[in-house]
Amino acid sequence: MARKKRAAAEINSSSMADIAFLLLVFFLVTTTIANDKGLTLKLPPNPDDIEDVDVKMSERNIFKILINSSDKLLVENEPVTDVKEIREMIKAHVLNNGRDPNLSEKPEKAVVSLKANRGTSYEMFIAVYNEAQGAYYDIYAERAGVSNAKWREISSDLSNPDNKEIYTKAREGIPMAISIAEPNK
């Protein structure tokens, strides 16, 4: 008896393109894309939309920080080499309550003015801005009688009524007044 030759086994590939397409759609739909946040700053309005208002503010209430294009700091007309020094200086300025005639009159009148040059690096600007913000967070944590880590926890969960109350009391009378001045050319 003669044996018949068998045909080679084949896999039907007509639906492979459909399966690949369905897998592609599945992964596109289920994949999450990371959103980088960045700074949460409220940008100023368009200069054409601003009406001129003459604001009078005592010089002693303004804490001036200047950053040049070489990332050198000038704080209250004195050179500062370490960014970390700014935090304590801002806290002393804000919490002065009129004791030192060179510092702010009251915490609610204190303003931190941050001015950079167009050549200033983003890293330096962010480092200085973080120290300014950190000074206010330190003040709020001290007023709330909690550690900085606990303050971050409280301020990140304001849906809890207890946290909201602590947060409101700690910030009362001390607004976070950080002014970012228009950069030099």
Domain of 80, CATH number, reads: 3.30.420.270
Is residue 1 a part of any domain in this protein? no
Average of per-residue pLDDT across 66-74? 90
Is residue 108 a part of any domain in this protein? yes
Q: How far is CA 19 from the centre of its chain?
A: 45
Residue-level pLDDT at 146: 86
Residues with Cβ within 8 Å of 108's Cβ and at least 6 positions away in sequence, in order, are 173, 174, 175
Residues with Cβ within 8 Å of 18's Cβ and at least 6 positions away in sequence, in order, are none
Is residue 167 a part of any domain in this protein? no
- Condensed to tens digits (0 to 9), the pLDDT of residues 88-120 reads 999 999 998 878 888 888 888 899 999 988 888
Structural domain count of the chain: 1
Residue-level pLDDT at 5: 75
Is residue 16 a part of any domain in this protein? no
The overall average pLDDT reported for the chain is 85
Residue-level pLDDT at 1: 60
Specify the pairing of strand 62-67 against strand 111-116.
parallel
Q: Which domain holds residue 80?
A: 58-136+175-180
Identify residue 59 by its one-letter amino acid code.
Answer: E
Identify residue 71 by its one-letter amino acid code.
Answer: D
Enter the tokens of residue 151.
């303050």
Coil, helix or strand at residue 19: helix
Is residue 155 a part of any domain in this protein? no
Is pTM beyond 0.85? Reply is no
Is residue 160 a part of any domain in this protein? no
Q: Could you write out the DSSP letters of every residue in 64-88?
A: EEEE-TT--EEETTEEES-TTHHHH
Residues with Cβ within 8 Å of 128's Cβ and at least 6 positions away in sequence, in order, are 65, 67, 73, 83, 86, 114
Is residue 132 a part of any domain in this protein? yes
- Answer yes or no: is pLDDT of 46 > 90: no
Residue-level pLDDT at 129: 92
- Condensed to tens digits (0 to 9), the pLDDT of residues 133-179 reads 999 999 998 988 888 888 888 888 888 888 888 888 988 888 888 88
- Answer yes or no: is pLDDT of 65 > 90: yes
Residue-level pLDDT at 25: 92
Is residue 27 a part of any domain in this protein? no
